[in-house]
Amino acid sequence: MPEATRLPSLNGVSVFAFVGSAGTGKSQRAQLVAIECGVDFLIDDGLLIRKGQIVRGKSAKTEKNQVKAIRRALFEYPDHRKSVVEFLADSKPCSVMLIATSAGMVSRILKNLGLPDPVRIIRIEDVSSPEEISKAKKERSIKGQHVIPVSHIQVRKHFAGKLVGRLKVLFDNTDNMEGEKTIVRPPFKFLGEVIIDPAVVDQMARFIAERTSQIASVVYAQTKPSNGGIAVQVGIKYSPGQRTILSLGENLRDRISHAVSGITGLDVLRVDISVVEVELS
């Protein structure tokens, strides 16, 4: 393809392939297999992932139909492909692990990205028991869920409105890296409803407020249903500085409202900021 000839060379990138048919639990095992192989990046579902964080790419699960989703997963869109290849070129020498449903899919991705042949191919049967594979297939067929090996916050940012649930596990490794397996449903196969606990919104509001200058501490953060949406209340301890209480409150209100609505898809009807205490020098 003409675009591929203009892309940077990926010689110096070591490739591992993790192969198994759809719904066998590859993505659930991906981070553990990556740790065991010592790889730097995962390529899964159109995403380039490093230690649970999306660094480049776009997920096939964001596409509106299955044909586009397959093309996205195979990196057949030029801009998508270019972004991932250039990032890997800047990162080499490095190693990546492709997560694929077949040897043919591995070959297509290698060709599209200009990657060398795999130094090792791991199959799902090498790391999962028949019982685990059977259970994963049942989950996929009944619930229509897909697990991707990225953090919960990353998934919520990239899959607003498509979040279903989360499974969390601590892997035993020298970095004490916390791996998260987040379950999503693609928009072209959505079943059931999405429920987001108000405590999640409380934590988001608290997180934003605690990292805002002139807020000494967060006294409380509460979220309540309100006319089909939500109302968020945040109490803070104010520390005098360049911004007035009014200016600080308006800025915090807008940031919380934008973040919560953008990440969760909930309608934020109001955000009330109360100054409960003032810190005196």
Tell me yes or no: is domain 198-278 CATH 3.30.70.1350: yes
Q: Tell which residue, 214, 137, 208, 149, has the closest CA to residue 178.
A: 149
Residue 2 above 50 pLDDT?
A: no
Please write the tens of the pLDDT for every residue from 178-225. Answer: 344 444 445 544 444 455 778 888 888 999 999 999 999 999 999 988
Residue 106 above 70 pLDDT?
A: yes
Residue 16 above 80 pLDDT?
A: yes
Structure tokens at 171: 């892997």
Domain ranges across the chain = 2-189, 198-278
CA dist 51 and 97 (Å) reads 12
Mean pLDDT of 2-17: 79
Under 8 Å CB-to-CB from 8, ≥6 apart: which residues?
85, 86, 89
Q: How confident is the model at residue 25 (pLDDT cuts 50, 70, 90)?
A: confident
- Would the pTM count as exceeding 0.85? no
Structure tokens at 70: 């397959």
Mean pLDDT of 35-52: 87
